[in-house]
């Protein structure tokens, strides 16, 4: 049986592991380096804040000569996030706009100087709902994975959980979940014991899941969270029908959704 673990903000970097008990999704921070030979020490510990659509935040940090990576991260409550790095005179050193809210820039400093970290929020997905925000500065370059995605982080997280529990992830689908619509998927399975997991890319969501065979319900999960898990066994091969229903996020919004099927250890 899959057991969901208590999660904290975890930022893996070469030679250092930062943890903080906050509400930010832990595996959804794209800091790389665990499999890299690059040393990425943290110069500025993660600044944790919030901002709404159209708002801006700014911080200053003094850096010695060297190469650095400046990175920002925001939750899916924003359409986009822009990071602008300037020197003390306001001259622009780097800028990056990310449609998945993970802008980062690599800069080189030739003399000790104070830089400004400016973060600009794009439109809000839903007006009045703030996004979680984190800003960090690393020494070195290549500290952020450019291939990072929220759905990849979710898959990696569950692969680790399944592995520890003796299970194996065998099928998955990635899609968008609209606030007004349910999602329906079908999977053809052999006899065995299974878990179906659904998770959204926004931790503030609440979704419910139902598993059926020929319209007969065999498992359901209506817990108030964004990662329902359903367990069941099949004595013979069958096509299962999975329904995921959105509940608690605002009308007109959407979120990323991953549905995963795992074969459990008997």
Which pair of structure tokens corresponds to residue 32? 């790389």
Q: Which of 9-23, 73-87, 230-244 has the highest mean pLDDT?
A: 230-244
| 253-262 per-position pLDDT tens digit | 667 788 999 9
Kindly report whether the global pTM for this prediction surpasses the value 0.85: no
- pLDDT for 253 equals 64
Place of tokens 């990662």: 227
Q: Per-residue pLDDT tens for 171-211?
A: 988 887 877 789 999 999 999 999 999 998 766 578 999 99
Look at residue 33 and tell me whether its pLDDT is greater than 60: no
Q: Give every CB contact of residue 216 below 8 A, 6+ residues apart in sequence.
A: none
CATH class of 9-139: mainly beta
pLDDT digits (tens, 9 = 90+) for 93-151: 999 988 778 888 999 999 999 999 999 998 876 777 788 888 989 888 887 776 666 67
Question: Mean pLDDT across the chain, nearest whole number?
Answer: 79
In this structure, CATH architecture of domain 150-263: Sandwich (2.60)
Sketch the domain layout of the chain as residue ranges: 9-139, 150-263
Percent of the chain at pLDDT above 70? 77
* Fold match between domain 9-139 and domain 150-263: yes
Q: By C-alpha distance, which of 153, 164, 240 is closest to 201?
A: 153
Q: Tens of pLDDT along 111-127?
A: 999 999 999 998 876 77
Task: With cut-offs at 50, 70 and 90, classify the pLDDT of residue 32.
Answer: very low
Tell whether the model's pLDDT for residue 60 goes beyond 50. Answer: yes
Alpha-carbon separation of residue 191 from 57, 195, 234, 236, 242 (angstroms): 54, 13, 5, 5, 17
């Amino acid at each position: 049986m899959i057991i969901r673990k208590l999660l904290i903000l975890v930022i893996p970097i070469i030679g250092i592991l930062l943890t903080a008990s906050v509400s930010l999704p832990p595996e959804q921070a794209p800091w790389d380096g665990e499999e890299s030979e690059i040393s990425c020490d943290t110069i500025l510990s993660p600044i944790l804040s919030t901002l709404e659509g159209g708002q801006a935040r700014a911080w200053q940090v003094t850096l010695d000569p060297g190469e650095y990576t400046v990175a920002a991260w925001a939750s899916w409550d924003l359409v986009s996030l822009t990071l602008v790095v300037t020197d003390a005179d306001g001259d622009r050193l780097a800028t990056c706009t990310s449609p998945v809210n993970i802008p980062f820039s690599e800069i080189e400093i030739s003399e000790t100087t104070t830089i400004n970290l400016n973060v600009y929020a794009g439109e809000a997905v839903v007006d009045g709902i703030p996004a979680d925000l984190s800003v960090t500065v690393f020494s070195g370059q290549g500290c952020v994975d450019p291939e990072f995605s929220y759905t990849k982080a979710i898959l990696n997280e569950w692969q680790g959980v399944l592995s520890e529990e003796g299970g194996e992830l065998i099928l998955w689908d990635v899609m968008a979940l609209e606030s007004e619509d349910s999602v329906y998927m079908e999977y053809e399975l052999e006899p065995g014991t299974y878990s179906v997991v659904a998770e959204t890319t926004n931790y503030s969501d609440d979704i419910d899941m139902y598993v059926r065979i020929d319209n007969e319900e065999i498992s359901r999960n209506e817990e108030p969270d964004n990662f329902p898990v359903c367990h069941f066994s099949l004595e013979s091969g069958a096509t299962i029908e999975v329904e995921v229903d959105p509940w608690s996020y605002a009308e007109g919004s959407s979120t990323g959704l991953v549905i995963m099927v795992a074969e459990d250890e008997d």
